[in-house]
Structure 1
Amino acid sequence: MENCGLLTPEREQVPLKSIEVELQVRDHVATVVSTLNYENKEDKPVEAVFVFPLPGDAAVCHSSAKVGQTHIVAEVKEKQQAREEYDDALSSGLQTFLLEESDQSPDIFSLSVGRLPPGESASIRLEYVTELTVQADDGLRFCLPAVLNPRYQPQGRRTSKGSEDVSVQMTSVPASLVPYSLSFSARVSSPRPVSKVESSCSLEPLQYLNTAQTQAVVKLAAGHKFNRDIELLIYYKDAHQPTAVVEAGQASAEPGTLMGDPVVMVSLYPELPQPVMSSFTSCGEFVFLLDRSESMKHPIGDSSKQSRISCARDTLLLLLKSLTMDCYFNIYSFGDTYEHIFPESLKYSQKTMKHALKKVAQMDANLGGTEILEPLQHIYRQRYIPKQPRQLFVFTDAEVWNTKEILDLVKKNSDSHRCFSFGIGQGASSALISGMALEGGGHAQFITGTDRMQPKVMQSLKLALQPAVEDISVTWALPKGVSASVLSPPIKGFFQGHRSLIYAQLTGQGSEAEEGYVMVKYSIAGHPCQEKQLFSLQPARNSGPETDSYQPEEVPCSGLTIHRLAARTLIRSLELEDREDKAEPDEEVKKKVVELSVQSGVSSALTAFIAVNQSSGEVIHGPLVRRDLLNASLCEDLLLRGSLFDYCLKDSYSNNSWTSVKKKLISAFRKTGFSFKKRQTNSPQSKDTGFAKEPLLQLVSLQEASGCWRLDPDLAAALGKTKVEVEKNKPESATKEVWATLLALIWLHGFKVNTKEEWELLALKAVSWLRVQRGACMSECVEAGNALLGCCVQKDALGF
């Protein structure tokens, strides 16, 4: 058991007691204050290690603790120095805690609470700021991660005991023995009215705080169990309004530094030309990369019966049917190995589409772990097809261990493709999903709870079919004596409705009554475009949490939200620069990162928060008991899904002996009274290696690559008719293919209008095919089709 990293499960009360989370949303920026309450009920001092996820782009900017009546605030220090101070404090019997980011993934943190005396309570306060991502339906997404899925660790990559990578320290006391509770409340304010707030969790009714409905409060409904991510989707009226906000610098900071000077945050929503938006490109190389690791057998959400892999297969069916005859495509799948359908991307045709769908129907979640780096490397090594821009679609539940290495690879190849990423199910890493889309100039989507994957993926396909935005340039016009230093990386691209954020440090002296503007110029499909955003140099009112909700003296980060986000953006860029194509780390860049992190109080991969309570002068004696706590990730997941094998036993046991070892471990846990619940992951859909049998997908599966349908018994069955009925009602002037294609379109418009987003592109392809058919009597066919199917679809509605 010790070799596995598991503690002897003797049912001691673990020290984590409760979590309190307060969320403050201002427009599209969020400040999160979490309080972790501990209580040591053992007769020995305890070291509690809590491994937990945060949003991938979060900027942790404050950490403090209250032990008894003593309040201690953590400082940001170089990571190795912080670790040494923590170890020294432990060995000296002092109370201490250490908060640090994983070396491999920016969305995993560990909090070590050392020397918590017997019978003592402690409250750890953690604050971070983050940008809210814009979904394809214009909702702003906030996610409080609860599920930290075990991150796949391939053989030979596992670090030894005492590793610096906190992502590996994920063995745990069973979650059923972790009785901590959660309270969560959110306050939303915006210059525009808040139209609604949705969640996959049960919420209390939204309460507006003013008549303009620009401020609102929402809370979790009573009885929520923190066993899944808390996801909020916030919708504003007129969400696409560009904004620019200037935030004053910190009075105590030195002028000329990032924290001492004003910082402007510009939010742009470019309006692309309508002629361009009304048409889609018909060319491109579409590469689909599908996760087939064992975890893809799990349902997407608690109430979903369909497995992740089954839903992904159905989505690939819609994607392949929506491609056009002028494009190229290929499909890769991966686990701890990877496969591809074709040696290289081939031109889309009936033959290649049919062959690909046959292979997709046979795909199951049977390729082991989650090793995405090698298939990505293989894809990027493939030759580029002239005049066929590459579009990469990645589907994964994101249980990877080497996030930073993957993002570096995507960024390195960002000039040659756009990357669209999809996080499937609870616990999908926002750092990986959002990071791949950001570095690849694409768009990220998350599919959780009761979400349908198909409409979200088709939204992204429409974005991919938009012509690429080229020649992007950003210029500033500021009053005399004032200059802007851009802190954000260059904009790689954007889409209709896509938001771009730019941070810039303003130096020099100017009148606050003056104005400046930022100009973004670009071209799309040969059309030159530009967007201009004016802003006042008058600093905005405090952009942190309001004083009626928070105590500013306890939260020094408050009021500098934009500065912290700007610092985080610059730190990430510098970290990436340090890793990029260098055999040895750049000491100058590392020094800049540490200095900026310490100056701004924002976490980085090279720093950590450290606090030591030296005020009491009391030394806490006794053997130190270590307790590893895993945030809502069940021990049975580690055992039954084989993740424990990946982490701790892969080098110690053969495949043949693993089964007996697993039985012994499960038996040991059952002796403690721990009960393993049977998981409903192998539903009929999970075992079925074909596509779902719902009517829409039945009809879609029969469409030819050209866009038409054939008149045959299968089509008749999909329409709910017999072959005799369908053939008998065919107008004499129509060919069988024209009649069949019109019937399919009428059925889609008549019975599946609520899911139009899923089939709109393949319907457009069918209409294009019909338009080139000469001599077809469309009006007569539409009238006959309506009569046969019992619909009243107008000819204009079909696109004629």
Structure 2
Amino acid sequence: MWRQSFGLLEKSYTHDTTGSFLLGKWLHIPLSTVPLCSAVVDVAIQDYVADVASELIYQNKSQISTEVLFVFPLSPHMAIYSFQARSEDAEVQAMLQDEDQQLHEPTGGWENLEYLQDQSEHSGEVFACFLGTLSPGREVVVTLRYVQELPREPDGAAHFVLPPTLHPCSKHYAWNCLTSELPYSLLLTASLQSPRGVANVQANFALTPLIYTAQDHSTAQISLAGRPPSHDDLELLVYFGEPTAVSAVVETGDPGAPPGSLLGDPMVLVALAPSIPEAVPGQRQSGEFIFLLDTTFLERAQGSLLFLLKSLPLGCYFNIYCYGETSEGIYPQSVEYTQDNLTEAIRRIPSTGSSLGDTNLLGTLRSIYNTPRPRGHTRQLFISMAGLLPDKEAIAAEVCRHRNSHRCFSFCFSDDSAALAMALARETGGEATYVCSDNSMTAVVLKCLKQALKPAAEGVSLSWTLPRGLEVEVLGGTPQSIFQGQHSLLYAQIRGQAQDTTVAKGVMTLQYSLDGQDVTHTIEFPLCPQGDGRLAGHRLAARRLLKRLLTEAASGSGDELRHRAVEISLTSGIICPFTSYVGVRTSQRVTWYQVSWGRPHHHQVLLSHVLNSAPFPVALEGPLALLPPRQSLIPCQITELRGSRRVSSCHPMSIWVPPGWLTAVCASWLALRRLTHGIAALPQRGACSKARKPPSPSISSLKYVDLTEFVLCSSILGQWSTKAIAECQQLVALQNVDGSWALSSGLVSVLEIDEAEIKGKMPGELMEPSIWATVLAVTWLHRHDKCYQELCELLEAKAVTWLHSQAVSQLDKCLEAANTLLGSTVEPSVFRL
């Protein structure tokens, strides 16, 4: 088994005898880490964007030479743009190349990444680079740079967490679990910047006093004081000045890049965070809610769908699609949420979808996107996925193309659909949930509905006032809605040349609608570029623009978009599915040879980028330099670890392997893999196929999802038995869309009380039996031995709102009578009394 501790990994021979060795179905091969000796980390935070530069020094403290592999886990909002490793003898530089051109291809070593990918117990996307062999006592220095969008806390703070590779605290070190001392030194500094001013910094570790480097407090510095905590990740909360709905800061471009290019022009980093008050549960609310049900799973999902439909608020629109061979909705387009429309929709839902064949989610989504959205109503999709879906890449691309116009809440019921569910939710700002049982399904979907019912700023738009000659392009577009608790980070490129140089400011206007009222925010920002030249905003803008280009390229829009994506990727250093990494490993004592070509080569930028940053002498007399004779090309790529077992790092499953045996076992395993891949590929490539290269990332970048983490992220509200849900479901089915219940035989059956007794106990002041029925239903939900509040919280809120709208003067007496009839002790606060 491979064991990942985030950082330098090595093939080694250990004498730990815990665990067992099974040669056959499972192969447990140990993987230990090369110790980290020193880490120097410099963080630059500009509003909600971070640029991190790190230098890590590792030392081989074993008595044998070891092959080392650098592994760096990547989060969804992170992008590496520079990697370099050097030792006394050689240097490894990661560079990007066009996948189609294949200027450079590693000559060997793919088996190291293949083995890591298949045998790791961890899962997720990682950057991995094979660094070769490290002799005993020798050091290797790794320089890594990356950019990251930071999450915004509810109180407005930017939240930064130092990755475990840069601070491998003891919970990431297997041998260090019993000590509080870190075996390495850490120097952490952070520079902070915001046009609103840096107000405060909080951390879970000791900090030096905040030092302001500008009189208006727009820039500041902070650093680690003393030793960091040994068992926790390092977290930093940065608070800015007076919170506003919009902020903007201009980042300077790369002076070496040509004007008009992505890196050459200034970039405006825009943070949109409208102040949105809490909605009152049970009141009228706008919104368009569309439910997409996999017909193969429809029979099991009908109960959950009933809870969802009954919990919707008055004032919204809804529709239901049961996608199978067709992609038609219950209604041609979303309809207003009324009693008649809901009754008709429930009648039209088929009881089973077993005869509908393959699912057609892609066609269903296209039908929805071609349907007009009700004006003033934010669109949100609830998508259930029962199994493996065809056209996963096309589905993800279609959702990404419309990411600014809606949110997706996706529910998967199998491992096959987990990655797609996560991708759809991530692209649109929604949530993805793995439903592990029928009992938890209703609670899970209702939890997501509560998130969806949070109010939103709708009809979001930005307008710009700049000096003549300048124009602004928002890369990736502007979202149409921003929900409570969320923020939107935009990248706007300033292009052109100002004709009036005396105007030093620009004006940005944010407009949106909140609860039917138009809101406008205007902010001025200086046009003179700011920043430290690290281009964090430009690189994240490149990442955002690449997403849009890849979506359009996936629809077959021609080679022009692909060429542009490759150009942006190569110049910004941000990888995309059309480019790939290659590791250039060079001896530092080798003389470089030069060559001049008559015409520029397409890949000049690749090699020049590598050579210009090299610490050894380089001279170029033409657009391309030949690689030195002793230079080798090694695997360096973004890869997916497919492990799904979670094992404590303090108790790794490892074995004793005699010297020489491990090499033989690895060689046999890799030979077997090559043989099986070769046999499988014989019809396509013939018997003389070469060793397989790991496939490049897909266009939509669908990632493997660790189902253990997926379930943990899906907070399930209680464990409910099938009987309890069915009992509650009978009452839910009888509720009207306005929240009331009728005094019917069905309600009498649920309450299990004689109808004559129910009518006889009704207070004489009540003229409407529905008021008495509604009080009884809400009281029944709160009986001392039955607690359904979590399942029926939204239903109950509508019911109480309806009761108050009826101006019931003796509501307290009704509750007293209901408690007597049902033998309960429900408090008046349930009815807002």
TM-score between the two structures when normalised by the length of structure 2 = 0.58
1:499 aligns to 2:487 (yes or no): yes
Per-residue CA shift, 1:691-731, capped at 9, x if unaligned?
59599978985762432357799999999999999888642
Establish whether residue 130 from structure 1 lines up as the match of residue 148 from structure 2.
Answer: yes
After superposition, give the CA deviation of every residue in 1:247-276 in whole Å (9 maximum; x if it has no partner): 122333334433233211112234679999
What whole-Å deviation, never above 9, does each CA across 1:660-710 have from its counterpart, x for those lacking one? xxxxxxxxxxxxxxxxxx99x99xx99999659599978985762432357
Query: Partner residue of 1:515?
Result: 505
Aligned counterparts of 2:401 and 2:485: Cα–Cα separation in 1: 26
- Which of 572, 579, 596 does residue 568 from structure 2 map onto? 596
- CA change 1:780–1:432 in 2 (3 A) is same
1:77 partner letter: Q
1:633 to 632, 643, 646: 643
Q: Contact (CA 8 Å) 2:83, 2:143: kept in 1 or not?
A: yes
Q: Name the counterpart of 1:79.
A: 99
| 1:242 alignment counterpart | 246
Describe how 1:129-528 pairs up with structure 2 within 5 A: 129-133=147-151, 191=197, 209-210=209-210, 222-223=230-231, 241-270=245-274, 280-281=284-285, 284=288, 286-289=290-293, 318-323=307-312, 327-330=317-320, 374-381=360-367, 391-394=380-383, 404-411=393-400, 418-421=406-409, 436=424, 443-444=430-431, 457-463=448-454, 469-470=458-459, 473-496=461-484, 498-506=486-494, 507-508=496-497, 514-521=504-511
1:243 CA drift (Å): 0.9
Task: Tell me how far apart the structure 2 counterparts of residues 615 and 26 of structure 1 sit (CA, whole Å).
Answer: 38
**Do the aligned partners of 2:425 and 2:432 also contact (CA within 8 Å) in 1?**
no
Q: Distance in 1 between matches of 2:517 and 2:756?
A: 52
> Residues 95 and 582 of structure 2 are in contact (CA less than 8 Å); yes or no, is this contact kept in structure 1?
yes
SS of the residue aligned with 2:576?
coil
Larger radius of gyration, structure 1 or 2? Answer: 2
CA 1:536 to 1:750, structure 2 compared with 1: closer, same or farther past 3 Å? farther
Q: Secondary structure at the match of 1:257?
A: coil
In 2, Cα distance between equivalents of 1:7 and 1:39? 32
2-structure distance, mates of 1:437, 1:560: 28
Q: SS in structure 2 opposite 1:260?
A: coil
Question: Could you say what secondary structure the match of 1:87 adopts?
Answer: coil
Identity value in percent = 23
Q: Secondary structure at the match of 1:85?
A: coil
Which range moves more in the overlay, 728-737 or 608-617? 728-737
Q: Does structure 1 retain, via aligned residues, the 8 Å contact 2:475–2:493?
A: yes
Deviation of 1:113 after TM superposition, in Å, equals 1.0
Distance 1:385 1:96, change over 3 A: closer
CA distance in 2, matches of 1:493, 1:333: 26
Residue equivalent to 1:9: 27
Aligned to 2:763: 731
Give the Cα–Cα distance (whole angstroms) in 1 for the partners of residues 247 and 637 of structure 2: 47
1:62 aligned partner:
82
User: Relative to 1, partners in 2 of residues 1:231 and 1:341: Cα closer, same or farther, differing over 3 Å?
Assistant: farther
Letter in 1 for 2:29: R
CA distance in 1: counterparts of 2:206 and 2:750, whole angstroms: 43
Residue 765 of structure 1 pairs with residue 801 of structure 2: no
Q: In the alignment, which residue of structure 2 is the partner of 1:644? A: none
TM-score w.r.t. the length of structure 1 is: 0.59
Instruction: Kindly indicate whether residue 763 of structure 2 is the aligned counterpart of residue 704 of structure 1.
Output: no
SS at match of 2:587: coil
Q: 1:86 to 1:237 in 2, by over 3 A?
A: same
Cα deviation for residue 13 of structure 1 reads 3.9
Range with greater deviation from structure 2 (11-20 or 700-709): 11-20
Supply the AA of the counterpart residue of 1:128: Y
Shift of 1:411: 4.3
**C-alpha distance 756-53 of structure 1, shift in aligned 2 (>3 A):** farther
The answer to whether the 8 Å contact 2:198/2:241 transfers is: yes
Instruction: State the one-letter code of the partner of 2:567.
Output: E
The residue type paired with residue 560 of structure 2 is E
Counterpart check, 1:742 vs 2:775:
yes
Unaligned 5+ segments in structure 1 are 101-106, 147-175, 198-203, 294-308, 543-557, 638-647, 654-677
Letter in 2 for 1:738: I
Instruction: Decide which of 774, 784, 791 is 2:827's aligned counterpart.
Output: 791
Contact 2:206 2:228 in 1 (8 A): no
Residues 47 and 460 from structure 1, CA distance in 2 versus in 1: closer, same or farther, beyond 3 angstroms? same
Residue correspondences, number: 657
Are positions 1:534 and 2:524 aligned together? yes
Q: Deviations over 1:333-365 (max 9, x none)?
A: 99xx999997999987699789979x99999xx
Note closer, same or farther for the CA distance 1:741–1:422 as it changes in structure 2 (3 Å cut): same
Task: Tell me if the contact between 1:750 and 1:793 (Cα under 8 Å) persists in the aligned partners.
Answer: no
Quickly say closer, same or farther: Cα 1:236–1:508, change in 2 above 3 A: closer
Residue of structure 2 aligned with 1:587, choices 544, 550, 559: 559
Letter in 2 for 1:793: S
* Aligned residue type for 1:244: A
CA deviations over 1:515-536 (Å, ceiling 9, x no partner): 1112244567876554323212
Q: Partner residue of 2:669?
A: none
The alpha-carbon distance between structure 1 residues 116 and 703, as it changes in their structure 2 partners (threshold 3 A), is farther
* CA distance in 1: counterparts of 2:281 and 2:717, whole angstroms: 38
CA contact (8 A) 1:380 1:413 kept: no
8 Å Cα contact 1:749/1:793 also seen in 2? no
Partner in structure 2 of residue 570 of structure 1: 545
Displacement of 1:636: 9.0
> For 2:676 and 2:769, how far apart are their aligned partners in 1?
62
Q: What residue in structure 2 maps to residue 550 of structure 1?
A: none
Segment of structure 1 superposing worse, 508-517 or 13-22: 13-22
Amino acid at match of 1:704: Q
Q: Is this contact kept in 2: 1:248–1:263, CA < 8 A? A: yes
* CA-CA distance at 1:372 after TM superposition: 11
Question: 1:56 touches 1:431 (CA, 8 Å); kept in 2?
Answer: no
Letter in 2 for 1:516: G
Q: Which residue of 1 aligns with 2:653?
A: none
Report the secondary structure of 1:489's partner residue. coil
Which whole-Å CA distance do the structure 2 matches of 1:288 and 1:277 have between them?
25
TM superposition shift of 1:64: 1.7
Deviation at 1:7, TM superposition (A): 10
Deviations 1:188-242 (A, max 9, x none): 9674656988xxxxxx578695499999899996557x9xxx9999988975542
Describe the shift of the 1:576–1:786 C-alpha distance in structure 2 as closer, same or farther (beyond 3 A).
same
Does the Cα contact within 8 Å between 2:247 and 2:523 map onto a contact in 1?
yes
CA 1:8–1:411: 2 relative to 1, 3 Å? closer
SS in 1 for 2:249: strand
Change (3 A) 1:78 1:733: same
